[in-house]
Amino acid sequence: MGYSLLIAGSATVLAILPALLAGQLFARHTFPGKALLETLLMMPLVVPPVVIGYGLLILFGRNTSLGTWLHGIGIPILFAPAGMILASAIVAFPLIFRSMRAALEQTDPHLEQAARTLGCNRLRAWTDVTLPLAWPGLVSGILLGFARALGEFGATRMVATNLPGERTLALEIFHQFEVPGSDLGAVAGLVLLSVFLSGILLFTGDHLTRAWKRRQS
C-alpha cells in the first residue's frame, strides 16, 4: 500500500506544475490552435491506458536513442519506478489540468491587474492574488489526479516490474487473481481499500469544489 501511495504521490507532484501552467495559459489567453492543443492535452483521459503504456515502451525502449541514453546515465524508465510514475502522471494530468483551468477561469483577472498597479510584478500578482483565490479548485484537481494515479492499471502494467514490493495496489490485485490458490479474502480486502481511498479522495475534492463555488457566487 505504501508503495502505491508513493507512486501515485510522485506522479501527482510531477503533473502539478505542467497542469498549473497549462491551466493558466488556457484560462487567460487565446491563441491559434488552442482547441487542438487542448484536445491533445485531454487525450490521456479517453485513450485506453494500455495505448499510453505502449507509447512509453516505444519511446523509452532500450533500442531507442532516448531510452539508451537515460539507461546509460542511470535513469531507467521501463520496468522501473520512474516508468510507473511517468505513466501515472500522464493519465492523471488531464483531470488536474481541467480542474485547475476551471478554478483559474473563475478568478477575476482585474484583481491581478489591481495588484500590479500597486507595485506587484506579474509573477507575484499571480502567486499572491490569483492562486490563493483559486486554491480550493486547485486542491480539488490535485486530489482527483491523485485518485486517478492511485487507481491506474493499464499504462503502469505495460511498464511495471512484477516484483513483490514493487506493485501498486491495482497491480497487486491483478497479480493475486493470476496466482492459483490466492487468498480471495485478502484480495477482497485490497479491493475494499481501493474503493475506500478513492471514495474519500473524490468526496473531499467535490466538497472543496462546492465550497469554492459557493464562495464565488
Tens-digit pLDDT profile for residues 91-148 = 999 999 999 999 898 888 888 788 777 777 888 888 888 888 888 889 989 999 999 9
Q: Which three cell numbers stand for residue 40?
A: 491533445
Most confident among 3-12, 62-71, 106-115, 151-160 (mean pLDDT):
3-12
pLDDT at 191 over 90: no
Give the integer Cα–Cα distance in Å for 126 and 136: 16
Least confident of 21-25, 98-102, 141-145, 166-170: 166-170
Q: To the nearest whole percent, how much of the chain has pLDDT over 90?
A: 28
CA–CA separation, 7 and 85 (whole Å): 5
Highest mean pLDDT of the ranges 15-24, 107-116, 185-194: 15-24
Q: Is the pLDDT of residue 213 over 70?
A: no
Quote the CA–CA distance of 91 and 18 in Å, as a whole number.
13
Q: How many angstroms separate the CA atoms of 130 and 124, rounded?
A: 9
Mean pLDDT, rounded, of the chain: 84
Residue 90's alpha-carbon distances to 43, 61, 107, 193, in angstroms, are 10, 18, 27, 24
Binned at pLDDT 50, 70 and 90, residue 81 comes out as confident
Domain enclosing residue 78, as ranges: 2-216
Q: What is residue 21's predicted lDDT score, i.e. its pLDDT?
A: 94
Look at residue 182 in the predicted model and tell me its pLDDT: 65
What pLDDT sits at residue 133?
85
Helix, strand or coil, per DSSP, at residue 113: helix
User: Do the Cβ atoms of 88 and 11 come closer than 8 Å?
Assistant: yes
- Evaluate if residue 216 carries a pLDDT over 70: no
Q: How many domains does the chain have?
A: 1
CATH at 71: 1.10.3720.10
pLDDT at 110: 81
* pLDDT on residue 20: 95
DSSP string computed for 65-102: HHHHHHHHTT---TTSHHHHHHHHHHHHHHHHHHHHHH
Look up the pTM and report it.
Answer: 0.85
Rg over alpha carbons for the chain, rounded to the nearest Å, is 20
